[in-house]
A and B are shown apart, each in its own frame.
Chain A
């Protein structure tokens, strides 16, 4: 067998260097994020929790990006819809549920922040806030530190297309371009900034903005897992090689309302939403795996049952976990006495 025929026999993911197991794992995280998100919506409607901000429709690109990074080394600055991403880099369902229920044991914030505001030093997920896009300069600062200390990690930061209009996006990209820093900017263009459609936010393409900062900008179909993986992989190689940043604009659609406080049908039609469900990246990827012959209906049923069980256990655990002590509100404003910046 010569190498040419061997290539032809390979599936698309194998040509990208992904094993069958890896793509199956990718799919599992997507499905897990989707089911987690759906459960959160139910929990809010049932009055068990106060608030959830959703990422349904964005999981495919998130998980694809995570798999293209070095999940042992790189630094991650996700935004509030990135459940698929944080699960794929190691956050557990239990940890997410603890955050959702605002319990003391929540590793993201000890029950202080809204759900979706991720942070875990252990997983190198950098603590985030609600004013959008502030994380972009942080990612650039972490990349600057990597360059100064000659470390081979990259920083990866996500944000919506609405956020790409903030000054911090431009200031951060420009800084990273000037200093050729190892950072990957990924815009999850989900077509809406809460209610404002993309045509009222952008007169051009987000990815084209990279031209002005002196590095490549690539628009990619965010529902195409392997294509997102491919451009992300290339972006990471560029970053590690000292060639500088890459801006990736992953096109997708926010299938759910902005949050549990939002009625999306006040500003978009059911027909539009239904049309986009047909493009759902998670379903497309499932079909791809089945077409490759590495995934079956039986495995699907088994996976869904397994995730449902894990979510149920995580929910029960978080529901029963203690809240923070009221007086702990006063902790951690400053370092304890004696802590120095060693």
Chain B
């Protein structure tokens, strides 16, 4: 099985879907000739032509809105937001339109659009190239939101998103692009949307997370195992709709839950996951639910010590896991 980078897996998913179905196309800023500012769409214009790797004017609401229009008449657009930080001008199109088209038309019209947006910091991107905007879209029924942590999942979830009959936001982690490599089958497979994935079986603590921080948790779990602490790790994979059964099952495994994400704590995915656990099984817990998240500041500063302070890492995660285990 070929070992490829996370970013290559995203590109491969797009290429395979575009080869499979001529209605699939990519649009966004710099996605054509340049092949994307991160090279995510590199080579797609050469292979599929300008129309299917479409360089658009610099206007995010139009990128989303045009994609929505095309999706409503049968095309399968993948709209790229260059950074998730820049997708807020498109938020009205995503929340007022894409999310509500099926519902408001009583199932007459549908909007099978994919919106890809890179999230996360640790790349000296400062406030506006580092954000994790998941919580802005979480809690908008009608949208699906996925956030892969591995190369394998990146390919499989993106292919599933393209084939999904509803709008899917695909939050790819830009720190993972080159940092994360993994086995990615060359054949056609999908990772189902709406299903969480157990990355590690354990008995003392349960870690629930998604995207980049899972790598810290996996590394920390290896080291904690040497101290005799056994961690059970659940990758949410899809953060909307959440896989409640998998969350509750993972929480029940150990009775001690730590939720980790880079998005800030207040109103984040962790708040929803902990509420689900508290509603369903509070009295089965052996410790208060813990959250380890980005701080509640507007966004990540660029200065290296400040960025390091904001970012999660293996040590911070390991300390939180140990603390919970010792509770």
Residues of A bordering B, CB below 8 Å: 75, 106-113, 117, 119-121, 126-127, 129, 131, 134, 136-145, 147-149, 155, 167-168, 170-172, 174-175, 178, 331-335, 339-341
| Bound CA–CA A123/B202 (angstroms) | 57
Q: Is B288 an interface residue (CB 8 A)?
A: no
Find out whether the CB atom of A141 lies under 8 angstroms from the CB atom of B68: yes
Residue of B nearest to A140 (CB): B66
Find out whether the CB atom of A341 lies under 8 angstroms from the CB atom of B144: no
Interface centre among B103, B163, B164 (most CB of A within 10 A): B103
| Bound CA–CA A109/B74 (angstroms) | 20
Find out whether the CB atom of A168 lies under 8 angstroms from the CB atom of B105: no
Beyond A121-B109, A127-B72, A168-B65, 19 additional pairs, beta carbon < 8 A: A112-B106, A113-B104, A127-B101, A127-B104, A129-B104, A134-B97, A141-B73, A143-B69, A144-B70, A147-B51, A148-B70, A167-B59, A168-B92, A172-B65, A175-B57, A178-B57, A332-B106, A332-B107, A334-B241
| Bound CA–CA A121/B65 (angstroms) | 18
Query: How distant is B33 from chain A, measured CB to nearest CB, in Å?
Result: 15
Interface string of B25-52 (1 = CB under 8 A from A): 1000000000000000000000000011
Residues in chain B near residue A172, CB distance under 8 A: 62, 65-66
Can you list 30 pairs linking A and B with CB atoms under 8 Å apart? A107-B108, A108-B105, A109-B104, A111-B106, A112-B106, A113-B104, A117-B104, A119-B105, A120-B108, A127-B72, A129-B97, A131-B96, A136-B65, A138-B65, A138-B72, A140-B65, A141-B66, A144-B69, A145-B73, A167-B89, A168-B61, A168-B65, A168-B93, A171-B62, A172-B65, A174-B62, A175-B56, A178-B57, A334-B102, A341-B112
| Bound CA–CA A260/B264 (angstroms) | 44
Residue of B nearest to A168 (CB): B61
With known contacts A171-B59, A175-B57, A139–B69 Cβ distance under 8 A: yes
Find out whether the CB atom of B110 lies under 8 angstroms from the CB atom of A335: yes
| Bound CA–CA A12/B77 (angstroms) | 45
Q: How many residues in B have their beta carbons less than 8 Å from beta carbons of A? A: 48
Q: Is B166 an interface residue (CB 8 A)?
A: yes
| Bound CA–CA A168/B66 (angstroms) | 10
Query: How distant is A244 from chain B, measured CB to nearest CB, in Å?
Result: 15
| Bound CA–CA A172/B92 (angstroms) | 14
Q: Is B141 an interface residue (CB 8 A)?
A: yes
Interface centre among A148, A172, A175, A334 (most CB of B within 10 A): A334
Residues 51 to 87 of chain B near chain A (Cβ within 8 Å)? 51-52, 56-57, 59, 61-62, 64-77
Find out whether the CB atom of B67 lies under 8 angstroms from the CB atom of A141: yes
Interface string of B122-163 (1 = CB under 8 A from A): 000000000000000000011010000000000000000011
With known contacts A175-B56, A175-B62, A121–B67 Cβ distance under 8 A: no
Find out whether the CB atom of B56 lies under 8 angstroms from the CB atom of A148: no
Find out whether the CB atom of B71 lies under 8 angstroms from the CB atom of A141: yes
Find out whether the CB atom of B62 lies under 8 angstroms from the CB atom of A341: no
| Bound CA–CA A207/B165 (angstroms) | 38
Query: How distant is A208 from chain B, measured CB to nearest CB, in Å?
Result: 20
Q: Within the complex, which residue of B72, B76, B142 is in contact with A333, where a contact is CB–CB below 8 Å?
A: B142
Query: How distant is B49 from chain A, measured CB to nearest CB, in Å?
Result: 10
| Bound CA–CA A306/B103 (angstroms) | 36
Find out whether the CB atom of B104 lies under 8 angstroms from the CB atom of A137: no
With known contacts A107-B108, A129-B96, A175-B62, A334–B166 Cβ distance under 8 A: yes
Residue of A nearest to B92 (CB): A131
| Bound CA–CA A122/B116 (angstroms) | 31
Find out whether the CB atom of A121 lies under 8 angstroms from the CB atom of B108: yes
With known contacts A171-B57, A334-B142, A141–B105 Cβ distance under 8 A: no
Residues in chain B near residue A142, CB distance under 8 A: 69-70, 72-73
Residues in chain B near residue A148, CB distance under 8 A: 25, 51-52, 70, 75
Q: Is B174 an interface residue (CB 8 A)?
A: no
Find out whether the CB atom of B104 lies under 8 angstroms from the CB atom of A167: no
Interface centre among B61, B67, B68, B96 (most CB of A within 10 A): B61
Residues in chain B near residue A137, CB distance under 8 A: 61-62, 64-66, 68-69, 93
Find out whether the CB atom of A333 lies under 8 angstroms from the CB atom of B62: no
Query: How distant is B169 from chain A, measured CB to nearest CB, in Å?
Result: 14
Find out whether the CB atom of A171 lies under 8 angstroms from the CB atom of B65: yes
Query: How distant is A75 from chain B, measured CB to nearest CB, in Å?
Result: 7
Query: How distant is B77 from chain A, measured CB to nearest CB, in Å?
Result: 8
Q: Is B265 an interface residue (CB 8 A)?
A: no
Residues in chain A near residue B141, CB distance under 8 A: 333
Residues in chain B near residue A107, CB distance under 8 A: 108
| Bound CA–CA A213/B51 (angstroms) | 20
Residues in chain B near residue A106, CB distance under 8 A: 106
Query: How distant is B142 from chain A, measured CB to nearest CB, in Å?
Result: 6
With known contacts A112-B104, A148-B25, A148-B51, A134–B96 Cβ distance under 8 A: yes
Interface centre among A155, A331, A335 (most CB of B within 10 A): A335
Find out whether the CB atom of B69 lies under 8 angstroms from the CB atom of A138: yes
Residues in chain B near residue A113, CB distance under 8 A: 104
| Bound CA–CA A170/B97 (angstroms) | 18
Q: Is B15 an interface residue (CB 8 A)?
A: no
| Bound CA–CA A131/B61 (angstroms) | 13
Residue of A nearest to B142 (CB): A333
Residue of B nearest to A139 (CB): B69
Query: How distant is A96 from chain B, measured CB to nearest CB, in Å?
Result: 16
Residue of B nearest to A110 (CB): B106
Residues in chain B near residue A126, CB distance under 8 A: 69, 72, 109
With known contacts A113-B104, A340-B165, A145–B61 Cβ distance under 8 A: no
Find out whether the CB atom of A109 lies under 8 angstroms from the CB atom of B61: no
Residues in chain B near residue A144, CB distance under 8 A: 66, 69-70
| Bound CA–CA A111/B107 (angstroms) | 12
Residue of B nearest to A153 (CB): B73
With known contacts A175-B57, A175-B59, A145–B105 Cβ distance under 8 A: no
Residues in chain A near residue B76, CB distance under 8 A: 341
Find out whether the CB atom of B165 lies under 8 angstroms from the CB atom of A75: no
